Amino acid sequence: MIYRQVFKKYRRKEKVTAAVIGPGQYGKAIVTQHPFVEGLHVPVVADTDIEAAKSSILKAGIPESKILYSKDAGETRKAIFDGKYVYTDDPMIVMDIPEIDVIVEATGVPEAGARYCSAAIERKKSIAAVSKEMDSAIGPILRRRAIENGVRYSPVDGDQPGLIIGLVEWGRMIGLSIISAGKARDAEWILDEKKRTLFVQSDGITVHKDQTESISERYIKYFKKIPNESDAAQEYIDNRLEAGKSMPIIGDYDYCEMTIAANALGLKPDIPQTSLAPLRITELPIVFCSKKNGGIYNNEGTIDCHTNLRCLDESGMGGGVYMIVRCDNEYSRYIVNTKGHIINYDGSAAVIYRPYHLCGVETCVTILCIGLLNVDTGALDYFPSVDLVKIATRDIKRGEELGNDHDKRMTAIMVPATKWGPDNAMPAHLITGNKTTVDIKKGQTITYSMIEEPTNSVLWELRAQQEKIFA
């Protein structure tokens, strides 16, 4: 990486000052890591839960004598000059502090995120966007408005959408053809061949308890490596899913992240619910390529997500990201295929992968790029071509308030970008926190006419602007 050389040569200032709004698991890691990052200072943390905000600063090793609470921008600004750290339950005060260069929006609440980002951009502050829920619905318009105001709106290094974007942009830069790209979900299927079991370990977020399932005799063969046989890829996926039908697979939060990457990179799902495939790393290039080369896709340029399958003694994906690539020059393809990369059976595709994502620990890269260089770490374009929408998984009564991607009353799919209309599918996170206006039957796609429009919603207004501008 040449970041340090670039920062040294082209930096606009010596230090980037950032504020974090939303110190959940992700935002907290940004706060706790920043003391070890040259050129980065995070003196303000905001959250409606003031104890969570204060706790993140304490966990960064800051002595309590240097920490104070404030709801006043002037007092907070003075505290920063005095070398103090401030926690607050009023995120709007950071908009009025000139020394804050970058605001990290990590609330995970789409309406709140829309309000904070809109206010920050109006006051010419750049955004490091962690909240995937907000970004999946209105990211393109926020990025457009940021550029118009001379600031930046960026996905973040550390979270999977930003890492997919970074990997694919690098691949395109060196001239690789991108067949497909995506991510591994965080929780993995661990196979014990002797006991004939699958095991998933709780991660405390997407999987809340350890889970084990026995594999019946008829399915054992489908957990061997997918063979070089016609239509074997889809057959093995289907049987693995059937064998592990009670095990966790792709969640709505995974689809949400892939929607962001799809819109940044121009990739599209091959089918709305994606492949749902449990796969070994060695099987990725075998499966995630076109049907003519033994894979499952009708088209190239595909976005997908898989559950990593591994034995106890095999390395995992760590919720990392991958791309399936091809060199269109014969000699270049020979180089890639003979230098240790995992390839498919006919040598037409190879996987390049990053078997980890460090969440907020590595988000400093994005914050420094924005603050020192006025450059974001996303793709060149961000066009809303794909939307995340929701389907009811059970009957929902009129007046029920619907939740986020963890709401089991709904499931998500990715579809071509929708637009406002009574009978049109509604972007998933315009639904979040709002009530139904009618009874919704299991299996129905949730449309605009089914949800009560909130009053004075910045999120809904920005979505309307996005549809108009990008039409």
Q: What is the crossing angle of helices 50-59 and 25-33, to 10°? A: 40
Which residues on neighbouring strands pair with residue 69, listed in sequence order?
87
CATH number, domain 3-158+360-373? 3.40.50.720
CATH number, domain 386-469? 3.90.1210.10
- Say how many CA atoms lie within 13 Å of 125 toward its Cβ: 28
Residues 6+ apart with CB under 8 A from 244: 189, 198, 213, 215, 278
Residues 6+ apart with CB under 8 A from 442: 392, 393, 394, 395
Which tens digit of pLDDT belongs to each residue from 201-243? 988 778 888 999 999 999 999 999 999 999 999 999 999 999 9
Q: Which of 183, 115, 137 is nearest to 351 (CA)?
A: 183
Q: Where are the domains of the chain?
A: 3-158+360-373, 163-356, 386-469
Contact 93, 76 (CB under 8 A): yes
Residue 165 has what pLDDT? 98
- Quote the pTM value: 0.96
Residue 273 has what pLDDT? 79
Amino acid at 32: T
Question: Could you say which residues of the chain have pLDDT below 50?
Answer: none
Show the tokens assigned to 76: 């907070």
Distance CA 271, CA 449 (A): 26
Q: Which of 88, 156, 98 is nearest to 127 (CA)?
A: 156
Residues 6+ apart with CB under 8 A from 167: 181, 321, 322, 323, 352, 354
Show the tokens assigned to 223: 């957990």
Q: Mean pLDDT over all residues of the chain? A: 96
Which tens digit of pLDDT belongs to each residue from 403-459? 999 999 999 999 999 999 999 999 999 999 999 999 999 999 999 999 999 999 999
